[in-house]
């Protein structure tokens, strides 16, 4: 974990921020050629390439008969998992559903003289949900991705995941997934985008994943809609030294353990505190079961920024635009107005990011790599689309026809002008 003293040099600050802000693109650059090749082959060869990649990257011998997990398996998993986990999944499901119900958007219609105008809100018909499963299985991500889709009213939710376990299948049963396929990576995403002999083509692909998955979604945008770029996890903590160093260290490691490419950042105005957190990180690392992954992430991307004060801390955080931002200060709400860019903002010492990952209710599928500058958390709004509705009476038409013809004339579009004129004369 590197300590960067931003108090001393504005030039250094700019250099470092530029590097960190570009982290997303730098990461993607290294993987783009591989992902493009995978996408190209799935497009051309469909299932043949798909089963080859499943074998190469996940070591599984699957075919058209075995790639789909039968629905009865989901029910069986739900019945067979331990009571403690089933209950936690049910409670998480309920809390996530209640939070997302608030995001529903209604159609509206307005009536003016001779005119009825409206916006018709409708759910997407068929969506693909990516649930990561390479280095860990993510039943919580099943809930986070599927609940907003069902709240929006999506008819068909196709879930793909490379290595399902009984917990992911039970979660899929709880939230009513339509079909589950055992496939992941860039090849799984491409299969959903183009459709293959066995994988149905979808209208939109949502959900997080590793760099291959995130990049595939980005490259396939246009063939299919996507929610956002949600790649390797990130946490940024702003700390004033008022929270125990081992708590801060544990929170940093909670995201580092997701992926070697995960990012863990601390910003503080207290040098002694910074040193103690770094020490605690290395102490804790020794005993982590996912030590190897977390250590690589901490070594490569882990950074502590020393700043003048908490306002500069917010500026630096806004530059990085992290997926998760924890504010571990005496008065966390005081900083909220200064935070402009973050996927999710966790305020106070008793709001560790892990609570948000699992149980609180807001979505844990969040933008990474600096894209929180413009993307939002996954929500019901990602699963709907809007159509404009327009109706005009004869009276309304005659009120607006002259202005319409004037604008058609100004644009030199004669047939537009004519389609109005022809009605005026009838």
Ligand X SMILES: NC(=O)c1ccc[n+]([C@@H]2O[C@H](COP(=O)([O-])OP(=O)(O)OC[C@H]3O[C@@H](n4cnc5c(N)ncnc54)[C@H](O)[C@@H]3O)[C@@H](O)[C@H]2O)c1
Ligand Y SMILES: N[C@H](CO)Cc1c[nH]c[nH+]1
| Residue 357 is a binding residue for Zn ion (CB under 5 A) | yes
Q: Is 411 labelled a binding residue? A: yes
Q: Is 324 labelled a binding residue? A: yes
| Residue 58 is a binding residue for Zn ion (CB under 5 A) | no
* Residue 210 binding partner per list ligand Y, ligand X, Zn ion, none, with a CB distance cut-off of 5 to 8 Å that depends on partner kind: ligand X
Binding mask 5-34 for ligand X (x = CB under 6 A): -----------------------------x
Q: Name which of 33 and 410 has its Cβ closer to ligand X.
A: 33
Report which of 242, 247, 196, 146 is spatially closest to residue 44, judged by C-alpha positions: 196
Q: Is 382 labelled a binding residue? A: no
Report which of 378, 363, 382, 377 is spatially closest to residue 123, judged by C-alpha positions: 382
Chain contacts with ligand Y (rule: CB under 6 A): 138, 140-141, 233, 255, 323, 357, 364
* Residue 259 binding partner per list Zn ion, ligand X, ligand Y, none, with a CB distance cut-off of 5 to 8 Å that depends on partner kind: ligand X
Q: Is 416 labelled a binding residue? A: yes
| Residue 352 is a binding residue for ligand X (CB under 6 A) | no
Residues 6+ apart with CB under 8 A from 409: 417
Using the rule CB under 6 A, which residue among 128, 166, 209, 356 binds ligand X?
209
| Residue 57 is a binding residue for ligand X (CB under 6 A) | yes
Q: Name which of 225 and 353 has its Cβ closer to ligand Y.
A: 353
Active site includes 324? yes
Least separation in angstroms between CB 100 and ligand Y: 16
Binding window for ligand X (CB under 6 A); candidates: 78-86, 206-214, 311-319, 390-398: 206-214
Q: Is 2 labelled a binding residue? A: no
- Beta-bridge partners for 346: 326
Q: Name which of 240 and 323 has its Cβ closer to ligand X.
A: 323
Q: Name which of 178 and 371 has its Cβ closer to Zn ion.
A: 371
Least separation in angstroms between CB 172 and ligand Y: 15
Q: Is 357 labelled a binding residue? A: yes
Q: Which of residues 365-384 bind ligand X (CB under 6 A)?
A: 365-366, 368
Active site includes 32? no
Q: Which of residues 218-237 bind ligand X (CB under 6 A)?
A: 230, 232-233
Report which of 49, 287, 279 is spatially closest to residue 183, judged by C-alpha positions: 49
Q: Which two tokens stand for residue 380?
A: 């019901």
Whether residue 53 contacts residue 164, with contact meaning beta carbons closer than 8 Å, is answered with no
| Residue 41 is a binding residue for ligand X (CB under 6 A) | no
Whether residue 329 contacts residue 354, with contact meaning beta carbons closer than 8 Å, is answered with no
Residues forming contacts to Zn ion in the complex (CB under 5 A) are 357
Residues forming contacts to ligand X in the complex (CB under 6 A) are 34, 57-58, 132-136, 138, 141, 162, 184-186, 208-210, 212-213, 230, 232-233, 258-259, 262, 323, 364-366, 368
């Amino acid at each position: 974990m590197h300590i960067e003293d931003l108090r001393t040099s504005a030039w250094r600050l700019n250099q470092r921020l530029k590097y960190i802000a570009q982290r997303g693109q730098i990461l993607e650059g290294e993987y783009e050629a591989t992902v493009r090749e995978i996408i190209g082959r799935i497009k051309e060869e469909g299932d043949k390439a798909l089963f080859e990649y499943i074998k190469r990257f996940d070591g599984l011998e699957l075919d058209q008969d075995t790639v789909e997990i039968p629905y009865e398996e989901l029910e069986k998993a739900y019945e067979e998992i331990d009571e403690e986990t089933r209950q936690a999944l049910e409670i998480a499901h309920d809390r996530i559903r209640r939070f997302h119900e608030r995001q529903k958007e209604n159609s509206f219609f307005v009536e003016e003289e001779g005119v009825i105008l409206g916006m018709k809100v409708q759910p997407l018909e068929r969506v693909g949900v990516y649930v990561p499963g390479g280095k860990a299985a993510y039943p919580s991500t099943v809930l986070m991705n599927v609940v907003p889709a069902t709240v929006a009213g999506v008819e068909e939710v196709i879930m793909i995941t490379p290595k399902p376990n009984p917990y992911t299948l039970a979660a899929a049963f709880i939230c009513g997934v339509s079909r589950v396929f055992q496939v992941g990576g860039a090849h799984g995403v491409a299969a959903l985008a183009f459709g293959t002999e066995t994988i149905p083509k979808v209208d939109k692909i949502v959900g997080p994943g590793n760099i291959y998955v995130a990049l595939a979604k980005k490259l396939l945008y246009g063939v299919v809609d996507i929610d956002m770029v949600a790649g390797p996890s990130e946490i940024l903590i702003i700390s004033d030294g008022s929270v125990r160093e081992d708590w801060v260290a544990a929170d940093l490691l909670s995201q580092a353990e997701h992926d070697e490419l995960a990012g863990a950042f601390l910003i503080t105005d207290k040098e002694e505190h910074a040193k103690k957190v770094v020490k605690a990180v290395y102490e804790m690392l020794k005993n982590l079961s996912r030590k190897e992954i977390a250590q690589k992430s901490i070594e490569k991307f882990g950074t502590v920024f020393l700043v003048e004060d908490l306002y500069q801390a917010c500026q630096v955080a806004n530059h990085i635009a992290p997926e998760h931002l924890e504010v571990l200060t005496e008065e966390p709400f005081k900083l909220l107005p200064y935070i402009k860019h973050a996927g999710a903002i966790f305020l106070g010492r008793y709001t560790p990011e892990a609570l948000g990952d699992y149980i609180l209710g807001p979505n844990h599928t969040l933008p990474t790599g600096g894209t929180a500058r413009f993307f939002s958390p996954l929500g019901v709004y990602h699963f709907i689309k809007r159509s404009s509705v327009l109706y005009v009476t004869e009276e309304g038409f005659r009120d607006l026809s002259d202005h319409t013809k004037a604008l058609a004339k100004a644009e030199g579009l004669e047939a537009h002008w004519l389609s109005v004129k022809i009605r005026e004369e009838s």
